[in-house]
Amino acid sequence: MKNSSAVNKRKATPIEIEKEAFRKIGYQLIDTIANFMDSITEYPVTKGESPLQLQVLLGNSGMPENGLSADEIISRSTDLLLNHSLFNGHPKFMGYITSSPAPIGILADMLSASVNQNVGAQLLSPMATEIEKQTIGWLAEFIGVSPRYGGILVSGGNMANFTAFLAARTAKASPELKDDGLTKTNSNLMVYCSKSTHTWVEKAAILFGHGSKSVRWIPTDSENKMDNEVLSKTIKEDLKLGYQPFMVIGTAGDVSTGVVDNLKKIASICKQNNLWFHIDGAYGAPAAILPELKNLFDGLGDADSIALDPHKWLYAPLEAGCTLVKNPQHLINTYSSHPEYYNFSKNEEGKSLNFYEYGLQNSRGFRGLKVWMALQQIGSNGYKKMIAEDIELSKLLFDLADEHLELEAITQNLSITTFRYIPSQNLPENIEKKEIYLNTLNEALLDTLQQDGKVFLSNAVVQGKYCLRSCIVNFRTSEQDIKEIIEIVINEGTIIHQKLTTNK
């Protein structure tokens, strides 16, 4: 039988899209996406539509009994998404920590879905496994830690931190724990972190059976860094009381104001007490590539494990997180098991690299491709430039807010700036009442800004002050955008202040 006739006689199924049709729909989609990216500044950041409005648009018909044409489905989906989404790729999006997606990542995801590799096992994903391994090596190189670090790509920062948390526990808890569990081994394991650590810690403590009381929230000092004296003291006291400290978490770029803990000092406290040192660098770690920030990140390479998020400051499209572990064997000790129906352990050159043995997932998508491609397209110099620019723009916002009579600049770290609107007239005289009013006003201002689509900011509460918060992980944001944001905030602020004061 000739090859061509074999191809032509492919079985007819409701799922296949015939080659010419696939090309046509595919090219159209690419055209639409290219136009969308090119004209993104003409879109509002969001239309602020309510869930109810969107449900009406979507309609409430049941699932189709007979299939529709792929062409129609793609046009309608594109229309729904391009006209009714909140665009984190917009130059004036700077809320939370969500980046504009690298265009090459969009193509990478399409290629990745086409080969549909299961990167849980090397046997099933020979090249993809090697690419992910290389990506992990590059990420370690990127943040400037030893090439000994190995690890795994995961869905994001939470999963990256969870993955490290369990590895820390396996490494430091009694060896019986894996079989006997927390109760039977009388485990009183304790975790230490600053009070500004991301909520994942509490989730991990609950998920893995330690309970939220096993987290010691250490206060922060005047610079908002973990107070390492209190940390030392708390560990000592806990040891006296019979607790088992096992892990300290340092943060490299806290989610609220971007502060980096004194990592070197935490590393030495961990060493003294034989504790696992984990760094949550989900947001900030990539900034360690900047030579001018070398001191700020001193101690990064002392960590037993590091979490970082390529879908934040490396601009990968969601989702991509990464756990790096200084001695990756700790991951295998934690996650590897060999059921009889798996025949994945060997290849011709010896032991194979199966990522299912390095983390919580079994079947794994090929999320490494988009990170790997972006790292090559941009290069370390390209990243240095873009990360430094994000920081510069954040400083510019801080400076402009500082100069403005009706704005108070509050914090600036990495690419996060917090500030608030303070109208010059019609404020309560009483200081306490004034502060309460300013919190109400800025909260109302943020709610409006998040709905009206001109700029997207989020919030932070700094020493009791409700602030507007901008986090720039956005290669599209320009100086002009920053200047315009100041105007938008002042204009909206004035209107809301008027409303609030005349309503009284």
Indicate the residue among 203 and 465 with the shorter CB distance to ligand PLP: 203
Nearer to ligand PLP among residue 198 and residue 497 (C-beta): 198
SS3 of residue 93 by DSSP: strand
**Residue 205: closest CA among 246, 176, 255, 241:** 246
Whole-number minimum distance, CB 465 to ligand PLP, in Å? 21
Q: Which is nearer to ligand PLP, 25 or 289 (CB)?
A: 289
User: DSSP label at 199?
Assistant: T
Q: CA–CA separation, 496 vs 88, rounded Å?
A: 25
Long-range contacts of the stretch 134-138 (C-beta < 8 A, 24+): 134/372, 135/368, 135/371, 135/372, 135/375, 136/322, 136/324, 136/368, 138/372, 138/375
Q: What are phi and psi of 298, to 5 degrees?
A: -55, 130
- Cβ 439 to ligand PLP shortest distance, Å: 24
Shortest Cβ 28–ligand PLP spacing (Å): 32
- Reduced to 3 states (helix: H, G, I; strand: E, B; else coil), residue 151 is strand
Half-sphere exposure (Cβ direction) of 200: Cα atoms closer than 13 Å:
21
Check: CB of residue 333 under 8 Å from CB of residue 322: no
Q: How far apart are CA 309 and CA 371, in angstroms?
A: 10
Task: Give one DSSP letter per residue of 415-463, joined into a string.
Answer: TEEEEEE--SSS--SSHHHHHHHHHHHHHHHHHHHHHHSS-B-EEEEET
387 and 289 Cβ atoms separated by less than 8 Å: yes
Question: Least separation, in Å, of the C-beta of 458 and ligand PLP?
Answer: 12
Amino acid 220 reads T
Paired tokens of 221: 């000092």
Give 108 or 471: the residue with its C-beta nearer to ligand PLP: 471
Mapped onto helix, strand or coil, the DSSP state of residue 324 is: strand
Q: Token pair for residue 335?
A: 């996650």
For 277, the token pair is 């040192």
Nearer to ligand PLP, 25 or 168 (CB): 168
Give the shortest CB-67-to-ligand PLP separation in angstroms: 35
User: 81 burial class (0-12, 13-18, 19+ CB within 10 angstroms)?
Assistant: exposed
Our CB check for ligand PLP shows the closer of 370 and 454 to be 370
Nearer to ligand PLP, 119 or 255 (CB): 255
- For 457, counting Cβ atoms within 10 Å of its Cβ (0-12 exposed, 13-18 middle, 19+ buried), the class is buried
Which helix (H) or strand (E) segment holds residue 218: the answer is: strand 215-218
* Shortest distance in whole angstroms from residue 260 CB to ligand PLP: 10
Q: How far is the CB of 323 from ligand PLP (least distance, A)?
A: 12
Question: CB of 93: closest distance to ligand PLP in angstroms?
Answer: 15
> Which stretches does DSSP call E strand in 237-294?
244-251, 276-280
- In angstroms, give the least distance from the CB of 300 to ligand PLP: 14
Shorter beta-carbon distance to ligand PLP: residue 49 or 202: 202
Dist. CA 494–CA 478, nearest whole Å: 25
**Of 256 and 334, which CB lies nearer to ligand PLP in the complex structure?**
256
Q: Nearer to ligand PLP by C-beta: 283 or 372? A: 283
Q: Between 276 and 283, name the residue whose CB sits nearer to ligand PLP.
A: 283
- In the bound complex, what is the minimum distance in angstroms from residue 281's beta carbon to ligand PLP? 7
The alpha helices in 144-247, defined as continuous H runs, are 157-172, 177-184, 200-207, 228-240
Residue whose beta carbon is closest to ligand PLP: 157
Closest separation in Å from C-beta 42 to ligand PLP: 29
* Residue that the structure tokens 């390479």 belong to: 301
Write down the least CB distance from residue 280 to ligand PLP, Å.
5
Report, in Å, the least distance between residue 159 CB and ligand PLP: 6
Nearer to ligand PLP, 198 or 454 (CB): 198
**Interacting residue ranges for ligand PLP, rule: CB under 6 A:** 97, 156-158, 198, 200, 251, 255, 280, 282-283, 309, 321
Of the pair 97, 139, the CB lying nearest ligand PLP is at 97
Pairing status of strand 276-280 against strand 305-308: parallel
